[in-house]
Structure 1
Amino acid sequence: MIMQPEKISSNIILYACEGETHFDHDPFVYEHYFGIITSGSADHYTDHGVVNYPTGSLCLIRRNQLLKVIKKPDGEKPFATITIFLEQETLKKYSAEHDVKADGVYAGETILILENDAFMKGYFDSLMPYFAQPEKLTPILAQAKTTEVIALLLRNPALKNFLYDFSEPHKIDLEAFMKRHYSYNVPLAQFAKLTGRSLSTFKRDFVKIFGTTPEKWLQTQRLERAYFLITQKNKRPSEIYLELGFESLSHFSYTFKKLFGQTATESKIHQE
């Protein structure tokens, strides 16, 4: 069972999910966010393998990236986080008021694990009463809590460029990017943004490079990867359809049979 995220302000959220592990529904990160895993753990799927974040992990996530994460309960304890979204508008306002500016374009890691020191523990402890009485967190207090966490983060000067580089993605190698990220289930507009293109330019460049439309190419890539995992790695469709960007098992099964002329189960049997 998934519990609805509990917002106590427009950008401070308590989130919990119970039962089976599951992927994030939307892997696109729109804004920077900072949070702590209060129970359970998370597996982050990267190009270099899976990175596990246990209970207590304090994570700072950069905007404009694709993030594939499985959230895992811990026994009877649900996966739960407290998250503060650091929106661009809020950061620009803080920048103007406190004369904080980036020294240059940020080129470091897009996910940082920070030390959960006494000050951070105190900050998150101070939020807990508001989840029981959300009406007590007035807009003024919510702004104060957001300003407080920005100030706490800026104790580390290295985070200034992470937070205050407001530049947008520049034009990059589309072919290499898509071959790395085809399994992410996001709208084409988000692929376009991450490769530094308008949607129309993205589609035009895509056809020049791959000789087909993005929609057809993405589906074929995902299904061919599924075929390999099922026939060579003994995976079940139910284990991989979300990981490969399909929204439902029924849609995966239908498109798999349409491309290969047989069901995933039949394909597996024929390889044995």
Structure 2
Amino acid sequence: MTEPKTNPSRIAYSCYYARNRDGEQFIPEHVLSYQVTGRLTLNSADKTYVFNEGELRFIKRNQLVKFLKEPLEDGVFKTISVYLDQETLKSFSLEYGYHASTTGNAEEEGIIRLEHQPLCKSLIDSLMPYVQGDHLINDDLQRLKQRETIMVLLQTQPKLKDILFDFREPGKIDLEEFMNRNFHFNVQLKRFAYLTGRSLATFKRDFEHIFHTSPSRWLLHRRLQEAHFLIREKGKAPSDVYLETGFEDLSHFSFAFKKMYGVAPSKLLS
């Protein structure tokens, strides 16, 4: 495995030689990403996306995503991504006068599969000589490539304007619905609080009012319930289920599972 060779907040090149499950990730900034080789599977709260070699995607900021990176046929998994941070987009907005419409894009999916466009492919190709081998992109060139990326997206994907230049923070949303859809993401409580439009203190207070228990206790119980269902009813292996339901390691999952159900998770498959 090789780590990204440039500042991950701007441009990143990833290369893996083995199947890699990085668990879940909070996406803080918009990102344009191209699948050079291999297969990437992304799971949002309620949908799975699979991207193969040559496919392009746009991922919106402020969402939770699980991902699986797979080299195919003894090959290599490679992606190249351009991250579009809020500071850069705000500067671009002021300079060129782009603004999101007042109606917003609430119905747009968080992960958008982009149609093949020669301009997008040309942009990605122009980055490859810099990120492969031992080359690094200096900060000034990274900034230029970010601005080029914005211009290319506006030219080829006009609908993204209302996403790129929407600088609002998450608003207060239905906490019960959100948690029931996202409990399997293993992130800190402050992330859940932020994504539901609350301070951490308000999140905890609202949570206990709705669920009549603490967030940590509810999350553990809900994740174990889901794990029990997946093992017993779906026949899934505990080694797959513990990651899927938001546990950090198999030993902690097995201990908590046996404490709650009185039997090791592996015994449910017997």
Q: Supply the distance in 2 between the matched residues of 1:230 and 1:190 (Cα, whole angstroms).
A: 28
Q: AA paired with 2:196?
A: T
Deviates more, 1:142-151 or 1:7-16: 7-16
Look up the match of 1:134. Answer: 135
Contact 1:42-1:54 within 8 A present in 2 as well = yes
Q: Specify the code of the residue in structure 1 equivalent to 2:62.
A: N
- How far is 1:102 from its partner? 1.1
Residue 59 of structure 1 and its aligned partner are, at CA, apart by 0.6
Which residue of 2 is the match for residue 35 of structure 1? 33
For structure 1, the residue ranges without an aligned partner over 5 or more in a row are: none
Per the TM alignment, residue 115 of structure 1 is displaced from its structure 2 partner at its CA by: 2.3
With normalisation by structure 2, the TM-score equals 0.93
- 1:9–1:139 contact (8 Å) kept in structure 2: no
Q: How many residues align?
A: 266
Match of 2:16 in 1: 17
**Pair 1:9–1:140, CA change in 2 (3 A):** farther
What's the counterpart of residue 237 of structure 1? Answer: 238
Partner of 2:66: 68
1:48 Cα deviation (Å)?
A: 4.9
Q: Distance in 2 between matches of 1:49 and 1:111?
A: 9
Q: SS in structure 2 opposite 1:134?
A: coil
Task: Name segments (4+ residues, structure 1) moved above 4 Å.
Answer: 46-49
Distance 1:81 1:112 in 2: 16
CA distance in 1, matches of 2:24, 2:5: 17
CA contact (8 A) 2:190 2:200 kept: yes
1:9/1:142 contact within 8 Å kept: no
Render the CA deviation track for 1:13-62: whole Å, top value 9, x for unaligned: 0012222242x344211111111011111222345553322111111111
SS at match of 1:166: coil
Superposed displacement of residue 133, structure 1: 4.5
**Distance in 2 (alpha carbons) for counterparts of 1:199 and 1:10:** 25
Match in the other structure for 2:250: 249
Cα distance in structure 2, aligned partners of 1:133 and 1:146: 21
Counterpart of 1:103? Answer: 101
Cα distance in 1 between the residues matched to 2:228 and 2:74: 35
- Indicate the residue corresponding to 2:212 in structure 1: 211
Match of 2:190 in 1: 189
State the Cα RMSD in Å. 1.7
What secondary structure is seen at the aligned counterpart in 1 of 2:243? coil
State which of 63, 75, 81 in structure 2 corresponds to 1:77.
Answer: 75
Partners of 1:47 and 1:25 lie apart in 2 by 14
Equivalent pair of 1:42/1:53 in contact (CA under 8 Å): yes
Report how far residue 111 of structure 1 moved: 1.4
Query: Are residue 113 (structure 1) and residue 101 (structure 2) matched?
Result: no
Paired position in structure 1 for 2:4: 5
Equivalent position of 1:198 in the other structure: 199
* Deviation for aligned residue 1:9: 6.9
State the 1:231 CA deviation: 1.5
Q: Deviations over 1:161-213 (max 9, x none)?
A: 01000011111110011011100011101111111111100000100111110
User: Which of the numbers 54, 77, 89 marks the counterpart of 1:56?
Assistant: 54
Distance in 1, matches of 2:190 and 2:160, equals: 29
